[in-house]
Amino acid sequence: MDIEDTLLMIPGPVKVASRVLRAMSKPMISHRSADFGNIYEDCILLIKELFDTENDVVVLSGSGTCGMEAAVGGIIRKDEKIVTVTNGKFGERFTELGDRYGTAIPLAFPWGTSFDLDRVEAALEEGAKAVAMVHNETSVGMINPAKEVGELARKHDALFIVDGISSVGGNEFLTDGWNIDIAITGSQKCIAVPPGLAMVSVSKKAEEMLEDGKGGYYTDLKAHLKSARKSPCQTPYTPAVSLFYALQEALHMAAEDGFPERRKRMGRLAEGVRQAAAALEIELFPQPGQRSAYSNTVTAMKMPQGISDDQLRGGMRKRGVVVSGGQADLKGKIFRIGTMGVCTESDVLRTIQTLELVLEKEGVISSLGAGVEAASKSIDA
């Protein structure tokens, strides 16, 4: 099936609106020009609104991981500790980053289970410069309690770093309200821009800890903040100009819908996927319990009995719908459907319909329609 006819339903990179793709066709400009500065400044204003923050924001030309490194490398020095609270693949990346720049104190919970906040507090009592967590753990489809961890961070005077990569713009995300010193998101998730840009907000407190000549070079937040304050607004190293064109267009497109309306829509679509899963007797993977919640942006489901990952995802791909599998130990055991960005009701219904077709073909279900009906009723309610 040609990519033009293929529906991308993975949890990032996500489908990009034609209007945003077309924005990248504009001619190249100098990255030191007022034209570029105006685009960057305009993006910053909208990103601050999206992050719900008064903190400064910079845009790095790199993936979300580049933004995560900017945060950890900017703050943590050799012999300094960072508590990394994890329950999935991306949380573990914070642990690796912590060990790269200093010492990570990993608090690892089983993938897809909730944080034990008492253990988070106990770890912070040992004395750490910062605590890092993933808000929306893409690998397991679950929202972690950022507000509560933020309160603990403040109480123990630790800097609070949050990966909001698959969250900001899709789930509620209150950078200032939750005391987040450094928040990170990526272009290819809820804003629905091609991958390649990381947006990072930096509190005054975090900025005071940045030091000249320390941490990563390309990801140096001090250099990025300094350049962004110049006139015209700049980046310290050549930015991915075409992706900034796309970012500006996509942010305006989202602002026209309204950021809260966008979030609500992603929530309704994810609820539709969950209702379809229930109707098809497919178990959800995460166990959010009291403190966590199912994600609005990615739904992780257990692989049904009687069908392999290859059969399920390969069968769907052959029919033009791409969904994700599990990562690391979850490979073959779960599959994931993204509902981010400019994903529509009909995208979700086509996905569920295709899933049903494949399940029926492989003998997992005996009749078609229950999933689509459940999703449709739920989304339209």
What is the C-alpha end-to-end distance of the chain, expressed in Å?
A: 33
Over the window 166 to 205, marking each residue x when it contacts its own copies by CB under 8 A and - when it does not, the resulting string is --------------------x-x-----xxx---------
Q: Least distance to its own copies from the beta carbon of 329, Å?
A: 17
CA distance 287 to 110: 10
b vs e for 353-366, b when ≥16 Cβ sit within 10 Å of the residue's Cβ? Answer: bbbbbbbeeeebbe
**Residue number, 15 or 48, with CB nearest to its own copies:** 15
226 lines the binding site for its own copies (CB under 8 A): no
Shortest Å distance, C-beta 65 to its own copies: 4
- Residues belonging to the chain: 381
Write the binding mask 87 to 126 for its own copies: x where contact by CB under 8 A, - elsewhere: ---------xx-xx--------------------------
Residue 33 interacting with its own copies (CB under 8 A): yes
Among 44, 107, 123, 243, binds its own copies (CB under 8 A): 243
Work out which of 80, 147, 148, 218 binds its own copies, going by CB under 8 A. Answer: 218
CB atoms near residue 253 (< 10 Å): 19
Residue 4 binds its own copies (CB under 8 A): yes
Q: Considering the complex, what minimum distance in angstroms separates the CB of residue 233 from its own copies?
A: 16
Q: Is 81 in the site for its own copies (CB under 8 A)?
A: no
* By CB under 8 A, residue 161 contacts its own copies: no
Min dist. Cβ of residue 30 to its own copies (A): 5
Strand residue runs (E) in 135-223: 136-137, 142-143, 159-163, 182-186, 198-202
Return phi, psi of residue 54, to 5°: -100, -5
| Contacts (CB under 8 A) with its own copies, residues 350-369 | none
Q: Is 3 in the site for its own copies (CB under 8 A)?
A: yes
Residue whose C-alpha is closest to residue 363's, from 275, 304, 287: 304
DSSP of 78-89: TT-EEEEEESSH
Closest to 172 (Cα-Cα) out of 295, 313, 323:
295
Instruction: Rule CB under 8 A: choose which of 37, 73, 170, 288 binds its own copies.
Output: 73
Gap between the Cα atoms of 231 and 184, Å rounded: 24
Q: Is 217 in the site for its own copies (CB under 8 A)?
A: yes
